[in-house]
Amino acid sequence: MSSKPILFSGMAPSADSLQIGNYIGALLQWKEMQQANDAIFCVVDLHAITVPQDPAGLPDHTRRTAAQYIAAGIDPTMSILFVQSHVSAHTELAWILNTITGFGEASRMTQFKDKAAKQGTEAASLGLFAYPTLMAADILLYDTNVVPVGDDQKQHIELTRDLANRFNSRFGETFVIPEAIIMKETARIYDLQNPESKMSKTSASDSGVVWMMDEPSKTAKKIRSAVTDDDREIRFDRGAKPGVSNLLTILSAFTGTSVELLEQRFAGRGYGDLKGEVADAVVSTFEPIRSRALELLDDPSELDRILAVNAERAEAIAQPMLAKVYDRVGLLPRVRR
Ligand code: AQP
């Protein structure tokens, strides 16, 4: 690696396609940041199994997520793009971090409370509870300087920093303290049918989610059916006009035009025009990404080869860090015969 800052980020393979929020909130930024940083992008499959999931679908979800990273512009020869479970140091470091994490501080993580509430708190797993320490391990293994995340992840990065500082002061200087790069609230995309809720891969209903891997005609139809309001004015107002504001955010992200300029351009025009332009912008961006991802998925052994090469690159950094951590906490090294 060079002298550039080290960047780490990831997404969970929790569906067979990424959605438009993942693209705007993560992939688009990752693609821009991979030039100025030594970037490491992970498909965090071990995070995906912290909630109920279908084991038969997971390998496919994992390959499809990796293919979509590449198709959207992540270069797996420049950046490192790998699957979390392929590098065992992640779970091994997570265990060490669990031993220095307070039960009380882990209990304060709001994402756990939200995700646990979705499935009934009694049914929530210990794995879901320990999600933040696995995430801290993902980040700390690579001497990460920057972690681009949505603002919902801010608390997890704070915990990661606390754990790194705690470990360093208890066992000696070991970890780099990472900084969060918090994506702007304007980069948050809401469900098209329920514009008060965040768009999610695992939304209860499919009708408000725009998938990167959907057929263009399906995508256009969904956008044309987006919920708006009874008013006729095209202006950004998240509180009063969540649907229209969401469409403006999407169009702004896909065209690089500011929301203010879009408001001026659409003055006096109807919602149909706005939806039409959003649909055109999304379809023309997603269509080549979808085709490229399908091409990559047509040759799974080549995709697996890329992931294997990248797992080796990741392991070459992670394994020495884990060995250092084991040494610092006093674990007796295994002698290889
Ligand atoms: N609606 C969104 N708007 C902006 N950014 C979003 N991200 C997700 N949804 C939106 C960003 O995409 C990345 C995905 O991270 P993840 O897969 O680990 O989990 P997530 O944030 O919980 O994403 P989903 O799509 O909602 O997945 P599920 O349904 O599995 O929980 C993050 O960088 C996130 O900020």
* Residues 208-217: tens digit of each pLDDT: 999 999 999 9
Pick the atom of ligand 1 nearest to 12's CA.
Answer: 17
Mark out the alpha helices in the chain (DSSP H runs).
20-22, 28-33, 45-48, 58-71, 89-98, 103-107, 110-119, 126-129, 131-140, 154-171, 216-224, 242-255, 259-265, 271-297, 300-329
pLDDT at 123: 85
Rounded to the nearest 10°, the torsion over CA 187, 191, 195, 196 is -80
- Domains along the chain? 6-187+300-329 (3.40.50.620), 206-294 (1.10.240.10)
Q: Whose CA is nearest to atom 34 of ligand 1?
A: 150
Residue 1, pLDDT > 60, answer no
pLDDT, tens only, 163-178: 999 999 999 999 999 9
pLDDT bracket for residue 186 (50, 70, 90): low
Please tell me which residue in 115, 222, 241, 275 is annotated as part of the active site: 115
> Which of 16, 22, 46, 62 to probe ligand 1 with, by most ligand atoms within 8 A of CB?
22
Q: Mutation test of ligand 1: which of 7, 9, 11, 209 has the most ligand atoms closer than 8 Å to its C-beta?
A: 11
